[in-house]
Structure 1
Amino acid sequence: MNEKYWDTLYGETYDIDGVFNARKHASYVKALLSLMEAKVQSLGDFGFGKAALLREFVKALKPARVIAVEPSPERVEELRTKPWIQNVHIQIHNSTLQDFNPPYLKYAPLDLIICNSVFQYMEDGDIKKVTEKLSKSTRFLYFTVPTKKDYERMKKQIAFSDPYAFVRSTQFYRRILSKHFNFVAYNLLESKYQNPPIFEEELFKF
């Protein structure tokens, strides 16, 4: 995305979920995974953008290893100048999710990957490939994507629209995601490829 995108969507006009409330998202995940006795020793943020969620997740979870991926060169350089990363064992990659494919993640998948509002900017075919790749690269995926109904709601409530996004149905995303992940909590998915599962209660998995 170019700088016009960032100025348009991340200006002062809107309170962006995952930015103004990033600390609450991190606290929620920390509490939920602590309840399930699931440790997060490795963390990824694929499409980190302004890195608000990444910063708060690192502070809350204190992972030993962090991988940050972002296609925008400006956002990558911005993150590299942040003082808070100086004491973090972090790898920062300027890449799209489609192109990012390090072989070591196949053998040492991460405990948690954040993928916040990224899929709406991908082509249909890319989403299918990236979803499968993510499911084999992490145990948990902290995931959000606006659907058609979400965009309709946001337009009515706050006059928000995103000219850069593909607008898709809820069913479209659920159909692809459910092939590789179980939905186990709000924004949280667990890979079907990482065994044994942490969330075992079948009533809350779909």
Structure 2
Amino acid sequence: MPAPMRFDARYYRRFYGGPGKTHSASEIARLAAGVDGLAAWLGVELRSVLDVGAGTGLWRSWFRRHRPEVRYRSIEVSPYACERYGHELRDISRWRARERFDLVVCHSVLQYLDDAAAERALDNIGRMSRGLLYLEAVTRSDLPILDLDKSDTQIHVRSGAWYRSRLGRHFFQVGAGLWGSRRSPIQLFDLEGPGALESRR
């Protein structure tokens, strides 16, 4: 089944409704607050955010409530989610905005794309980034800790090394799911990130 057709109302009821939902509003609120705080700590002023695969719009809800001055743009490949939650219908593996963003959120998206599409998506994200990327994607090493009752297992599972090699073209790793754009003003001391000084070069 093509991905846009797969992410229909039934999919959203299964993974985003009821007690078995993948992410709750309170969980995403804590995550968004943490990312916002770390951005400030790292000297990245968040004036614009792109949310890739925005789903039910939980990140948008947090920014509207706590950072209403931030210009927020959300995209989705699911026609259902776009109509229901008010996102732009875009495929990140085929679309790139002309503008650059201070924060790009890519939360549980890339594992739904095959290798070629995921690589194009990372390149598009990298070219639109000027500050931080928050990335969550399931890797092979994550499988033993994956909550199978809440998780969609119809995904492409790759190694962490696969992602890191492609992320390294545009980003350096900060930690806690954050990647700094090579265009960003971020300066890390040696012990502040995984091999921070080496990866920054």
TM normalised by structure 1 equals: 0.80
Give distance in 2, aligned partners of 1:190 and 1:18.
Answer: 26
Deviations 1:119-140 (CA, angstroms, capped at 9, x unpaired): 0000101111211211120121
- Equivalent of 2:49 in 32, 36, 43: 43
Give distance in 1, aligned partners of 2:122 and 2:38.
Answer: 23
Give distance in 2, aligned partners of 1:40 and 1:165.
Answer: 31
Secondary structure at 1:69 match in 2: strand
TM normalised by structure 2 equals: 0.82
Question: Is residue 130 of structure 2 the alignment partner of residue 124 of structure 1?
Answer: no
Structure 2, gaps ≥5 residues long:
1-6
What's 2:136 paired with?
Answer: 144
Deviation at 1:35, TM superposition (A): 1.9
Deviation at 1:15, TM superposition (A): 4.7
* Counterpart amino acid of residue 199 in structure 1: Q
Answer yes or no: is the 8 Å Cα contact 1:41–1:62 preserved in 2. Answer: no
Give distance in 2, aligned partners of 1:170 and 1:101.
Answer: 24
Give distance in 2, aligned partners of 1:199 and 1:185.
Answer: 13
Deviation at 1:113, TM superposition (A): 1.0
Question: Is residue 176 of structure 2 the alignment partner of residue 186 of structure 1?
Answer: yes
Structure 1, gaps ≥5 residues long:
81-91
Superposition RMSD in Å:
2.1
Give distance in 1, aligned partners of 2:75 and 2:151.
Answer: 25
Identical counterparts, % of pairs: 24
Deviations 1:59-107 (CA, angstroms, capped at 9, x unpaired): 3333442211011122112223xxxxxxxxxxx41111122223x22xx
Question: Is residue 92 of structure 2 the alignment partner of residue 97 of structure 1?
Answer: yes
